[in-house]
Structure 1
Amino acid sequence: MNLLRTGLALLLALASTSAASLGVVQTEGGLVQGQNIPVGLMRSVEVFKGVPFAAKPGLFQKPRPHPGWSGILKATKFAPRCLQVNIVQTQTFGSEDCLHLNIWVPHGKKVSSNLPVMIWFYGGGFMVGGSMGPNFLNNYLYSGQELSKRGDVIVVSAGYRVGVLGFLSTGDPSLPGNYGLWDQQAAIAWVHRNIRSFGGDPSNITIFGESAGGASVSFQILSPHTKGLVRRAISQSGVALCPWAFRSNPRDVAEQVAEKVGCPTDHTMADCLRSMDTGNLTMAAPKILQGNPDKPGVMNLQLTPVVDGDFLPDHPSKLFHNAAEVDFLLGVNNMDGHLFTSQDIPSLRSKTQDTPIEDLRRLLGAYTRGKGPAALDLAFSEYTSDWGSSPSQDTIKKTAVNIGTDFIFLVPIQTAVYLHAATATSGRTFSYLLSEPSLMAGPGKPYHDWVGSDHADDLQFVFGKPFTTPKAYADKHRALSAHMMAYWTNFARTGDPNVGPSAVPVTWPQMDHFSQQYLNISSNMNEPSTSQKMRLRFVKLWTRDIPSLP
């Protein structure tokens, strides 16, 4: 045993001495030095944590260039998250000085050069979130190490302002909003200018994100300000067209916040808000209420991107021409709505309590409110058309999850798939559905055994958690994680998830208007894993039939 330990120690020592290292790197702000982590024989990943990409932002102002530093910045600790409320909205944590990024660079015997670059934006409903250090206990979900090592890509994660400080808007030039999107754009521009020093190719940048991060990716490629900086994009479970991701009348939320902090709501409101304490402003965000199907929780996300005439000159649906040359890979988890719908209808989670059919009608009523009773009746009849005379509780509960998944995620994401494919010139479109059963589902577990991929279930596989924490996963989960990392990094390298150094199990067809093909991603992939016209009947219901009602 001691001999084995000595041998392993010797191998690691050999690996760390033989693997290349960038050492001290020159950036526009000054010199930075990261930490070299051995990941195998002659292989390492060099990590730079907490590198500033902009100065501490002014309140309700666009990000400004960082003034720089003297000496060598030891980039070995994560910076704090951006100032935000905690998950139960009782207190704040984080910092205003939060515009930092983290960089993972893989090396072999030689220092890497000209590598594809992937920039990650976290989710959190534009209210919370961060990619700086552990997300839960000691588990760092967004570590780029595994993805960087396996895909031979540089992974970057960046901070951006959230909540009131990131997305409050008066709906006019006095306080236009979208500060969090400007932060993201500043991070992309910094990477574009500096990544060559880290061995990256500035002409091959992919941005990727999940939920509000996926919507952020979508907003970035739709904005004229990001044009030319980004070559490819990946949106997981979120696009700019999602009903929770965009607000057309932000003024009322600004007035609510103003009243909470003691500001007037007249023409002096913006000036008064700018003079307020940032902690008090952060706490003044509208509360996210749950447990009522008449007022679904996602409809309470009120601090989001808006049309500001600058970053977003028009409604997102009218800006797809700006993404015409961007390769776009996007998709949804097959039960993305489970997390949210089971908050709105708590009986859905219960294995002993029945879910009343009336609760489904109430949820649909909230989603169709703008079109009245005729829309509710149409939607209800469509979702219950194959129920028969006495539907089981599993059928009723699954239908509720489908309603939430379609409205919150799947339909707007499929709409973005069609719009990108229709508008693209050189940009390619790839669509997916993740349908791996939830790790929380089954006997003795909290979820019903029929629950598929819930919201955020994709994250663990994209970031290689089944490899970094192997005891929590089975071999099939490692297979799925390897598939997703291969598709994602091949796409970042070539614009085609099938083409690159990483082997994939099934050819992923490009989406076009004729075949409307997509990839069904799971741990058990074979040729039938490609399908067509994802839930087209329900896409038409929400995008054509309901809107056409008087």
Structure 2
Amino acid sequence: MGLLFILLLGVAIHWASAAKLGVVQTEGGQVKGKNVKVSLLFRSVDVFKGVPFADVPGMWEKPKPHPGWDGVMRADTYRDRCLQVTLLQKKTRGSEDCLYLNIFVPQGRKLSTNLPVMVYLYGGAFLLGASNDMSFLGVSLYDGKEMADRGGVIVVTVNYRVGPLGFLSSGDARLPGNYALWDQHAAISWVRRNIAGFGGNPDNITLFGQSAGAASVSFQMLSPHSKGLFRRAISQGGVALSPWALQKNPMALTKKIAMKVGCWRMNEDVMIKCLKMSDPVKLTMAGKIDVLLILGKGTVMDLIEFSPVIDGDFIPDEPSKLFHNAAEFDFMAGVNSMDGHIFAGVDVPSINSKTANTTVKSVRGLLAGLTKEKGGAAVESAFSVYSSNWGSHPDPAVIKKTVADIETDFLFLVPTQIALQLHANNASGARTFSYLFSMKTRIPGFPSWVQAEHAEELQYLFGKPFSMPLIYFPRHRDLSKYMIAYWTNFARTGDPSIGESSVPAVWPAFTENRRVYLDINHKISKTSVSSDLRSYYVSYWTETYSLLPSTRQTGVLRAGDLSPPRGRPESSARET
């Protein structure tokens, strides 16, 4: 009984001693969240779910300020995601009333004040996603409690429009596009105006995001509308220069959607007027992925049709020409060692087969799909680069891994290296940091050579090995601790090695002339720091490939954007 009394007394003291925000005044009215205990004594997290940052948006209109409310809003339930197709694309889910955000505020014995703020933008191919997405055992992957508490930062997760309602564009003022980017901008602006009431520092906001969210972070950095709005940015597995991140022919896509909803007209003005009167659910269903696009003539990259456009406003020019706008933002970016594997498995299914070999013909077919704007010469050029280490009798596993490397390089790694270089070249007092996340996949059933899959870093960043300890091992908690420390240190100081959290190794900056990166896994040490990530392949895509004649307007890989050292393929985590 004595021990039980002591335990109960400890719990009572915990709750009596942990600070709570209670009701917070925002520009729209008062909100009341929920105080949630965490594992550490005298610690808790105030959680505010479903706080509106804008009014219900008009279809293909910029977000408008929320009109406000009377009384105290109970902010204890996630709100609907923005209207989108389901994963199986059989129906839609979500609502047009979706512009809400969630706030996670760590508390100790005293109320937190002047904390760094981290605003997260989710991925989902610009077609899917929500601020509380990917629930597992009733807990969202993007639940910010562990990251907030362990890193001493406020975490904010944000909804934004996706699919046709977020990105449809005519390529001109009639239907300018980029509504999702304006949603994100409105959310960041709301955070800047209101976060002080939650204990945050409005002058120390960091954006971070993954995949389409990472590209969105990149676009936010590059937009002239973001000047002074936030301070730092982190892109995980995507940048504005990624070949899937920019829609180059928006009117063609708009006409395709118009055809599907019965609005196609020879007169474009009449067609657009019809679209604006169409049912949002039917428009959303019309935007579902068309798998026929990749049968015989393309790759999974061709399935990502809804994405930002150059609108002369939020994105005034080619992204590669806008890095002067990002000169004052500290920037951290990287990729997972096999970000492209899941997509390569769609394009070349044999790579994941235990019995079927991957043929040279299928490797050339993948390259043909990725490089179709350059024609046949590019296929043989790229094939010679990626097969240079095969030898006369290549191991079948080596060929399969090469396919994953090709797709990782083209879709993620090379554009990210270009973005890092352009940021370093243009930086004015800001710092640049590069990483490679190489923790071996936890997804069962894949071949032994598969390393870190697309989005696999998120479980560690959001602290799942701590909140769900029974399904992780100590090495996973080590990695989660390291990532939270580096990310939140960066948010606090602009340097991932300096802050309130200790780190296992110093992470040097990526500079104009020294392309340093940190290899992130559960065994980080001084030897995890290296330089010139896959420079042989980066050089190929940015120099040799970019100079090949084009059959149509090329993508984002441009000669002169990046000039890494030439040489043979280096030995690195990606090469093992």
TM-score, with length taken from structure 2: 0.93
Between stretches 267-276 and 106-115, larger displacement belongs to 267-276
Q: Which amino acid aligns with 2:429?
A: S
**Alignment partner, residue 222 of structure 1:** 222
Q: Determine the C-alpha separation between the residues in 2 that align with 1:4 and 1:356.
A: 67
**Please, which of 367, 371, 374 is the counterpart of residue 377 of structure 2?**
374
Aligned-residue identity in percent: 54
Q: Which amino acid aligns with 1:228?
A: G
Q: For 1:106-146, what per-residue CA distance to the aligned partner results, in whole angstroms no more than 9, with x for missing partners?
A: 11111111000000000000000011365345241000000
Q: Is the 8 A contact 2:132 2:141 kept in 1?
A: no
**Alignment partner, residue 502 of structure 1:** 501
For these two proteins, the number of residue pairs brought into alignment is: 545
**Alignment partner, residue 480 of structure 1:** 479
**Alignment partner, residue 303 of structure 1:** 306
1:340 is paired with a residue whose SS is helix
Q: Which amino acid aligns with 1:209?
A: G
**Alignment partner, residue 567 of structure 2:** none
Q: For 1:376-399, what per-residue CA distance to the aligned partner results, in whole angstroms no more than 9, with x for missing partners?
A: 111000000010111111001000
The 3 A distance-change label for structure 1 pair 170 and 15 is same
Q: Determine the C-alpha separation between the residues in 2 that align with 1:4 and 1:428.
A: 53
**Alignment partner, residue 148 of structure 1:** 148
**Alignment partner, residue 268 of structure 1:** 270
In the TM superposition, what is the alpha-carbon distance from 1:6 to its structure 2 partner? Answer: 5.7
Q: Is the 8 A contact 2:47 2:105 kept in 1?
A: yes
Q: Determine the C-alpha separation between the residues in 1 that align with 2:6 and 2:302.
A: 58
Q: Determine the C-alpha separation between the residues in 2 that align with 1:498 and 1:77.
A: 36
Q: Is the 8 A contact 1:48 1:76 kept in 2?
A: yes
- Say whether residues 1:318 and 2:321 are aligned partners: yes
- Say whether residues 1:170 and 2:170 are aligned partners: yes
2:507 is paired with a residue whose SS is coil
Q: Determine the C-alpha separation between the residues in 2 that align with 1:15 and 1:167.
A: 48
Aligned-residue CA RMSD in angstroms? 1.4
Q: Is the 8 A contact 1:293 1:362 kept in 2?
A: no
Q: Determine the C-alpha separation between the residues in 1 that align with 2:247 and 2:172.
A: 13
Q: Is the 8 A contact 1:286 1:302 kept in 2?
A: no
1:502 is paired with a residue whose SS is coil
- Say whether residues 1:406 and 2:405 are aligned partners: no
What is the correspondence of 1:347-362 to structure 2 with a 5 Å cutoff? 347-362=350-365
In the TM superposition, what is the alpha-carbon distance from 1:374 to its structure 2 partner? Answer: 1.3
What is the correspondence of 1:71-82 to structure 2 with a 5 Å cutoff? 71-82=71-82
Q: Determine the C-alpha separation between the residues in 1 that align with 2:97 and 2:337.
A: 38
Q: Which amino acid aligns with 1:38?
A: K
What is the correspondence of 1:535-546 to structure 2 with a 5 Å cutoff? 535-546=534-545
Q: Is the 8 A contact 2:89 2:288 kept in 1?
A: no
Q: Determine the C-alpha separation between the residues in 2 that align with 1:294 and 1:259.
A: 22
Q: Determine the C-alpha separation between the residues in 2 that align with 1:9 and 1:390.
A: 68
Q: Which amino acid aligns with 2:276?
A: R
2:247 is paired with a residue whose SS is coil
In the TM superposition, what is the alpha-carbon distance from 1:321 to its structure 2 partner? Answer: 0.6
**Alignment partner, residue 241 of structure 1:** 241
In the TM superposition, what is the alpha-carbon distance from 1:288 to its structure 2 partner? Answer: 4.1
In the TM superposition, what is the alpha-carbon distance from 1:258 to its structure 2 partner? Answer: 0.5
Q: For 1:303-359, what per-residue CA distance to the aligned partner results, in whole angstroms no more than 9, with x for missing partners?
A: 100001111111111111111000000000011001110011111111222222211
Q: Determine the C-alpha separation between the residues in 2 that align with 1:139 and 1:66.
A: 28
The 3 A distance-change label for structure 1 pair 11 and 293 is farther
Q: Which amino acid aligns with 2:107?
A: H
What is the correspondence of 1:127-138 to structure 2 with a 5 Å cutoff? 127-132=127-132, 135-136=135-136, 138=138
In the TM superposition, what is the alpha-carbon distance from 1:11 to its structure 2 partner? Answer: 2.6
Which consecutive residues of structure 2, in runs of 5 or more, have no partner in the other structure? 550-576
Q: Is the 8 A contact 1:188 1:229 kept in 2?
A: yes
Q: For 1:256-309, what per-residue CA distance to the aligned partner results, in whole angstroms no more than 9, with x for missing partners?
A: 000111113422222111111100000001524287574211222111000011
Which consecutive residues of structure 1, in runs of 5 or more, have no partner in the other structure? none
In the TM superposition, what is the alpha-carbon distance from 1:10 to its structure 2 partner? Answer: 3.6
**Alignment partner, residue 365 of structure 1:** 368
1:103 is paired with a residue whose SS is strand
Q: Determine the C-alpha separation between the residues in 2 that align with 1:128 and 1:427.
A: 33
2:51 is paired with a residue whose SS is strand
In the TM superposition, what is the alpha-carbon distance from 1:415 to its structure 2 partner? Answer: 0.6
Q: Determine the C-alpha separation between the residues in 1 that align with 2:203 and 2:101.
A: 19
The 3 A distance-change label for structure 1 pair 110 and 366 is same
Q: For 1:48-99, what per-residue CA distance to the aligned partner results, in whole angstroms no more than 9, with x for missing partners?
A: 0000000000000000000000000010000011110011211100010000
2:44 is paired with a residue whose SS is strand
Q: Which amino acid aligns with 2:68?
A: G
**Structure 1 residue runs of 4+, over 3 Å off?**
2-10, 290-294
TM-score, with length taken from structure 1: 0.97
**Alignment partner, residue 566 of structure 2:** none
